[in-house]
Structure 1
């Protein structure tokens, strides 16, 4: 008679293919060991863990986090084998919702309870619902930067050593992609918070600034080196019970008190916050600031963010859709604040006259903030959305209905034409800037230059013909010097050809500037928006024109700190006359209500030549030096890294595809005319990829009132996977 022997482990368990899985419970600061098999699904692991703990509490917001792999195990139906979890793994059982310290565009800090397990894009969506900000797709999180970051490109930053620290059985993986220490809390727990207060936001003070950590810059990637990820679905660890108790998370703003708090920001910020503001000195440093953006396709936990860490919430894409004063008071205020700080920190450049105009509008905003405002009824002041789709729709409307501008009786067979004497100059190397007078005509998206008016009437051949479609139009206006210039950068086979045009009067400049702007977008003088474009340019110039007598007494404003109204490089020029110059400019805007003052500030900001261009330092294939690549809402620009001149422009409506080789981080963009290949030096290639895909996504938004945000399409365009 034969006998069979059964092998057993040292702990008395039979050898059956099972093994011991260690799980650290962050709330309780304890570790549990579970005997499991590889075919056990994640939901079963959590169920057995909760049964083993035998503690009566709500575990529905908890999930498993794998520190060594920097990954959430949220697919509850997947098995341990499918995730690759083996006996040497240590998992964390931790809440998905944790406290995040957020700096808003107005520089204020608040604590919010957010989901650390979902994609960053979804975290921003949920946070914007709490804040009462529509169109969250325009915003994103970025990590705080130090001045040190502006001195180096991403690849030149020194990475930290790969070190793991252990505390009470809890492993914290080192952030291998950054140079900044990542000191994270061992517990990382939020479940002890009262759920009634879970969604409350609290301004940052010394008492509640618990464990405010330094946040690393670049996002860690998976060990495979790829950005491809599977769509996670929540099963056992769903937050349905959490949302049932806190329905405000995914619906209306938190409360009226918070909404009122965010509509208006403090007049000034503390010296401590002001001292940490970055002031880029050149275009290269501006480009390096874009290293801080988080990857929208990864969770914030996967990007080295831990509880009580700080992230900045900023408008990432400069394409503000349906900005309505009636319902967007918080959104308008945050856009205004971001514009203000961009100007004060010299992240975007402007002239002296423009700086004084911005300061005057800021004074008016501060004065109106202390005055009760009536409900906003004029919906006609919302900012227009300019994109290629709108241009096509407008052109179709004009072709069907005719133009609303005409000289005399309406005649749809007559093509509008603009004619006048202007001065022309085409810069060449080693030549003086001498302008020559020509007779200009603008018709059918073309400028034609003749030596005299008679040559045009006699059908003589033009001296120059300039095609305006696709060109870059930049104002060169200095009111104090009486200079009204238009700078054109016209596409050609050699790149962008620079052309300068000078007008004699303000009215002449407004007409020709409006014509050039519309023609660059493919619109003729018959376009229905031509007159409004002219009026907008004229109004913008009027805001910059100082009035001799100030509207208010300087003493009534108290102590004005110049740094809060004027960028440092301008403040030095005025010395003791700065306040008086600001008040002289304020006379132009003294009658504007609060929301109108902010909207005018935003419109003026959008009129600046450098507005809406996100810069990156890149190296084009075959070149041995770095160049700048500018990403805007409708185009990509190759730029000189010293002067900012546009060497070549490609518009999105000529783009066929864009691809990334994730192994070597090379990006290829295919246009109708050519293909370009480059490597991003100042940031991860994923950031630049997301900017292009994001702008294309924003251009697809519909004007339907009940539109829903197509998250799947956003990730398809920005995520970088097939």
Structure 2
């Protein structure tokens, strides 16, 4: 005991700031006091009848939550000079959805980001949350010049409330989405009336009576047939946690079973959302965008995200499992919109014919969202029973339907053979295509001088397993070709093939794509692959006449076509081309139009590649890599051409040296590739690889319960 009566017991004064009350308290504690005991004493001293159950201790200087309540202060390293905050774990977060709508919601800032994403998806009835994540938005200056992850823009609650009001009864085509409001209970309210700055962003005006008479001849046009949000199908969670379809019958239809059904039909974006879009001009800028992905294994607060910050809610792993119209109306709509804005922002490259096709499908989606639909199904579409579908799949797999194979004959090996035009490009040498006799068996492509010499040794042959197949098509000029990039020491060897017509192109392209995955034409997916390619091309054919009279339609091309195509045509000419392309898809339903858009997006050569700039060990020059669902591609940083491809199925391990931020990938051939990522943190690349491997392990036979532990094991690294 000291002379002044103080007891030397090793205690000290701990300073804690209560953020809700903006007051500071001090507690005398010792190092063996656990965190839960500190919070209990603090609440007792405050003597306020308030529910403190959502509060926790936050350590600002260490940027960490003291979330383990049974851990002592000594174990955390808390000392006498430590200043803590007692703050709510649930805070407001401003989120932009893939369709560019803004939501403001209360989320838990103390749990892992992956858990936050799961909670958001559960709230809005979106299945398979493992495909999504949160992204810090980059401004144009950061994308153009490079730099670290930007600081989030702060939005005060007063600003967001002033920018929106709720107007009941508005149809999806008549108002834009304003910033949502959140009341004191955390209830989300959405939608705003069209402001003066966004009045010009209306979707095209089409005469509904003319379109109705075209779609449903002989059916009287009545107001009772209009399909409004009040009758829109929704999804909700039942007692066992699975999704079931529900229907809104009365009252406010924006929330049904706790799920916002209007997210299944997107409204025009606000001017703020359009102004915030960034169009990357090259592969380096595309790579910089991926530097904004948040770490799924760390909480929002620990990654510098604060209350009212803005984050982008996007599909990160582009492998969409089990898309089902019964349960995934919102999910399909958000995927469709992410594809749409990716194309309009020029994040993916496509041909002019493909762009017109995408614009036509988008127009059809808009028409089907706003034009009345009768109670019958005019297209004759019927839902297939799950058991029948499973039996059909089994029959297809047993019979092995494919070109060159007799139905029911499981002993024959499918084979393709025909005259094709072949060229092996070389630098500084002009070479033309020459006709040769080709055969395709298993995964092997062989070339002969003629059909008569096909029994001799081939002039050239290759195993296409692990290759890259890039379509090279121009329908307007009747050009049907593919570029096959074959793995080779030190790079990729490239050969070009040309075909006479679409049927020949579809069959050989499907065989090459399956062979690149190690599959043969005996696979049950071969026929469906051929059909999808032919359907994709049929939508790009020029139509003889437009279904909709151009004088009855007002279309803003900038909302349908990427900027680089707008420079080639005047506005009236572009409108005419969009309406001509629309004639090919005018019979599609809303769901079919969206799904065709998604499938066409997936068919683009650059689909699914997330880019990063890296420095390989031993190389000073910055290079480009792309990570897809099944491979890592080393690419030309200027043109995006594939130089080397490493598939995940030959990868033994991937590791990160967390001290020097080096990614190490080991392959079966004994090759080790080491690189440092210059456009993002190495954890982002580690998570992309692990996340895609996690997605590849999903199957209908396995449990549909999300295995969060396995996800973090594959993506979390040392954390």
Report the TM-score when normalising by structure 1: 0.83
User: Take 2:184 and 2:519, find their aligned partners in 1: how far apart are those partners?
Assistant: 55
The equivalent residue for 2:440 is 442
Residue in 1 aligned with 2:464?
Answer: 468
1:702 aligns with 2:703: no
The structure-2 alpha-carbon separation of the partners of 1:257 and 1:23, relative to structure 1 and needing over 3 Å to count, comes to closer
Deviations for 1:178-216, whole angstroms, at most 9, x for unmatched residues? 564887999xxxxxx999832424458999xxxxxxxxx
Q: Residues 194-343 of structure 1: matches in 2 within 5 Å?
A: 197-203=185-191, 255=256, 258-266=259-267, 268-343=268-343
2:389 is aligned to none
The one of 706, 709, 713 equivalent to 1:712 is 709
Structure 2: how far apart are the matches of 1:327 and 1:333? 12
Given that residues 101 and 109 in structure 1 are in contact (C-alpha distance below 8 angstroms), is that contact kept between their aligned partners in structure 2? yes
For residue 569 of structure 2, give the secondary structure of its aligned residue in structure 1: helix
Whether the aligned pair in 1 keeps the contact of 2:16 and 2:83 (CA below 8 Å) is yes
Q: Distance in 1 between matches of 2:548 and 2:510?
A: 34
Local SS of the residue matching 1:484 = strand
Q: Give 2:27's aligned residue.
A: 34
* Structure-2 residue corresponding to 1:18: 11
Q: Deviations for 1:648-677, whole angstroms, at most 9, x for unmatched residues? A: 101111111111111110110001121100
**Where does residue 568 of structure 2 map in the other structure?**
573
Q: Judge which range, 525-534 or 91-100, deviates more.
A: 525-534
Residue 405 to residue 481, structure 1, CA distance change in 2 (3 Å): closer
What is the correspondence of 1:168-207 to structure 2 with a 5 Å cutoff?
A: 180=151, 197-203=185-191
- The CA distance in 2 between the partners of 1:531 and 1:402, in whole Å, is 9
1:129–1:251 Cα contact (<8 Å) kept: no
Residues 440 and 541 (structure 1), Cα distance of their counterparts in 2 relative to 1, 3 Å cut:
same
Per the alignment, in what secondary structure is the counterpart of residue 714 of structure 1?
helix
1:430 is matched with 428
- 1:14-51 alpha-carbon deviations (Å, 9 max, x no partner): 33211111111111111111111111100000000000
> What secondary structure sits across from 1:532 in the alignment?
helix
Which stretch of the first structure deviates more once superposed, 112-121 or 431-440? Answer: 431-440
Deviation digits for residues 122-156 of structure 1 (CA, Å, limit 9, x no counterpart) = 000000111111000000000111011223444xx
Structure 2 CA distance for partners of 1:40 and 1:252, relative to 1, 3 Å: farther
State the alpha-carbon separation in 1 of the partners of residues 49 and 696 from structure 2. 50
Name the CA distance, whole Å, in 2 between partners of 1:69 and 1:381. 56
Residues 527/521 of structure 1: CA separation in 2 closer, same or farther (3 Å cut):
same
Report if aligned partners of 2:152, 2:309 keep a CA contact under 8 Å in 1.
no
Residue 702 of structure 1: how far off its partner (Å): 2.5
| Cα pair distance change 1:555/1:269, threshold 3 Å | farther
Q: Is the 8 A contact 1:326 1:379 kept in 2?
A: no
1:602-641 map, 5 Å: 602-641=598-637
SS in 2 for 1:197: coil
Aligned to 1:670: 666
Q: Does 1:504 align with 2:500?
A: yes
Residue 574 of structure 1: how far off its partner (Å): 1.8
Q: Which runs of 5+ in 2 are unaligned?
A: 158-180, 196-236, 245-254, 387-392
Farther-moved stretch of structure 1 (370-379 vs 696-705): 370-379
Question: SS at the partner of 1:544?
Answer: coil
- Specify the alignment match of 1:166 in structure 2: none
Aligned to 2:581, the other structure's residue is in SS state helix
Corresponding pairs, count: 633
Match of 2:450 in 1: 452
Q: Is the 8 A contact 1:124 1:136 kept in 2?
A: yes
> Do structure 1's residue 113 and structure 2's residue 101 form an aligned pair?
no
650 and 584 in structure 1: CA distance in 2 versus 1, 3 angstrom threshold: same
SS of the counterpart of 2:188? Answer: coil
Instruction: Give the deviation of 1:258 after TM superposition.
Output: 4.7
